[in-house]
Structure 1
Amino acid sequence: MTKKNVLIVDDHPLFREGLKSLIDRSESYQTVGEAGSAEEALQMAQELKPDLVTMDISLPEKSGIEATREIRSELPDAKLLIVSMHPKFEFIAEAFKAGARGYVVKEATSAKLIQAMDALCRGEFFLDGGVSLEVITKLMSEPETEATIDDENYSLLSPREQEVMRKVVEGGTTRKIAEELGLSPKTVENHRANLMKKLGVHNKMELVRYAVKLGLVDVDQWKE
């Protein structure tokens, strides 16, 4: 039986080594390349044309979600499997909207990983880690922001607004952010209103999508 070719994308060499060993021991898959960044992943995907790509979300300079979107555009037949820590539902939804068709946590068993890869190669979706398909479907169906997502908008924010934005996206409440930054809750609310106006977003979901698409947040720090 001809093995399917897999490209591993993760910025941690030790994790890539372990994943490569697991894949190469399987009966159906073989590793054809390893990438430690989104740009390297896109280049290698174009050269190697793998059947399946395992993708971490948190990568240097550009997020794995954006890398997924780019690889999907270049190689529409490639299967994209997110292998990452357990992030918030919003990030998983964005990954699926970018073209991923599966998601497993890094702590998953080897059997679970191969099960996910098998499912994708059969043309199915795969979700792990207690993630509800209904939740993902709901988040994916919400309308996209009409705002232009680019670094120019982000550069309009003051350093304090950028700081508040990151803490909001990471799930901080107004009171918690105020305590951490030594500000009043009213000041935090004002910063939040101003930064959302500058970015052209209208709610937290749109703000999360902005942050994810620009790779502004290390989503591997998001824990349930």
Structure 2
Amino acid sequence: MNLLIVDDHPLVRTGIRTGLEGYFSESSIREAGSVAEALDLLSSSTIDVAILDLRLGDGSGIEIADRIADLDIDTRCVIFTSVITPLAVIGAFNSGTVYAIVEKGVDIVPLGQAVQNAANGLSSLTAVAVKRAEEEITLSGGLGSIELTERERTIAELVADGLSDRDISQTLSLAASTVRNNLSTIYTKLHVESRTQLAILIWRQRSIENPT
């Protein structure tokens, strides 16, 4: 089995690699420390399962999963994260390439099982789990308790409408770097990891405010 571990902390990658080498007697394991490095490896190598950290220095594991789907790469994904949030569940499910989310801190067995299941085409992400995650977001009141500035809220809404950073920059007459900096702040405030998760949260908020 060909595996790829994506995490921006070398010691974490080493720990995961050691555990998986013990779990899978015959496997080829490669490592990447960023979204860009992971995508380079995925496009040039045959990877059966990618183990993705949710938060990376230049993006997120969900972004990698989305790109795998966009590029039609035959790789299945397992998200390995410190905290499993409702938005992570929804974003992972919507990517179509994530087969499981495993919480860090557990021993290697659950991760090894998730990787084996993903390789066999067995997913633990179900519509029921996604519906439960959506209900948690609804019950939490969406964005009601989050303080975004007027500009941040406008940018978040435009992301949900499908605009790229360049489109937003032109629409609001802002420098591209300003848009990126605002998005970084929005991600931190809303505890999201990607544009997909941000868009989902905004869509859920719209459904709360306009239920018809």
Q: 1:102 to 1:52 in 2, by over 3 A?
A: same
Match of 2:17 in 1: 20
SS of the counterpart of 1:6?
A: strand
The 5 A counterparts of 1:66-85 are 66-85=63-82
- Whole-angstrom distance in 2 between the partners of 1:37 and 1:161: 21
Q: CA deviation at 1:16?
A: 0.2
Q: CA deviation at 1:109?
A: 1.6
- Whole-angstrom distance in 2 between the partners of 1:149 and 1:29: 44
Give the letter aligned to residue 111 of structure 1: V
Kindly indicate whether residue 197 of structure 2 is the aligned counterpart of residue 150 of structure 1: no
Q: 1:36 to 1:168 in 2, by over 3 A?
A: closer
Unaligned runs of 5+ in 2: 135-158, 193-197, 206-212
Q: CA deviation at 1:204?
A: 4.1
Per mean C-alpha deviation after superposition, the further-off stretch among 72-81 and 58-67 is: 72-81
Give the letter aligned to residue 24 of structure 2: E
Match of 1:206 in 2: 203
User: Given that residues 42 and 73 in structure 2 are in contact (C-alpha distance below 8 angstroms), is that contact kept between their aligned partners in structure 1?
Assistant: no
Superposed CA offset, 1:152-207 (max 9, x none): 36544889976984565239xxxxxxxxxxxxxxxxxxxxxxxxxxxxx9994438
User: Given that residues 8 and 31 in structure 1 are in contact (C-alpha distance below 8 angstroms), is that contact kept between their aligned partners in structure 2?
Assistant: no
SS of the counterpart of 2:24?
A: coil
Give the letter aligned to residue 166 of structure 2: E
Q: 1:68 to 1:20 in 2, by over 3 A?
A: same
TM-score with structure 2 length normalisation? 0.65
SS of the counterpart of 1:108?
A: coil
The 5 A counterparts of 1:1-224 are 4-27=1-24, 30-98=27-95, 99-126=97-124, 134-137=128-131, 147-152=161-166, 155=169, 156=172, 165-166=186-187, 169-170=190-191, 204-206=201-203
TM-score with structure 1 length normalisation? 0.62
User: Given that residues 50 and 75 in structure 2 are in contact (C-alpha distance below 8 angstroms), is that contact kept between their aligned partners in structure 1?
Assistant: yes
User: Given that residues 102 and 120 in structure 1 are in contact (C-alpha distance below 8 angstroms), is that contact kept between their aligned partners in structure 2?
Assistant: yes
- Whole-angstrom distance in 2 between the partners of 1:114 and 1:206: 35
- Whole-angstrom distance in 1 between the partners of 2:200 and 2:122: 32
Unaligned runs of 5+ in 1: 172-200, 209-224
- Whole-angstrom distance in 1 between the partners of 2:200 and 2:70: 28
- Computed over aligned residues only, the root mean square deviation of the Cα atoms, in angstroms, reads 3.4
Superposed CA offset, 1:9-41 (max 9, x none): 110100000011111112355243100011100
- Whole-angstrom distance in 2 between the partners of 1:36 and 1:90: 23
Q: CA deviation at 1:117?
A: 1.2
- Whole-angstrom distance in 1 between the partners of 2:103 and 2:67: 22
Q: 1:139 to 1:23 in 2, by over 3 A?
A: same
- Whole-angstrom distance in 1 between the partners of 2:98 and 2:40: 18
SS of the counterpart of 1:50?
A: coil
- Whole-angstrom distance in 1 between the partners of 2:11 and 2:23: 19
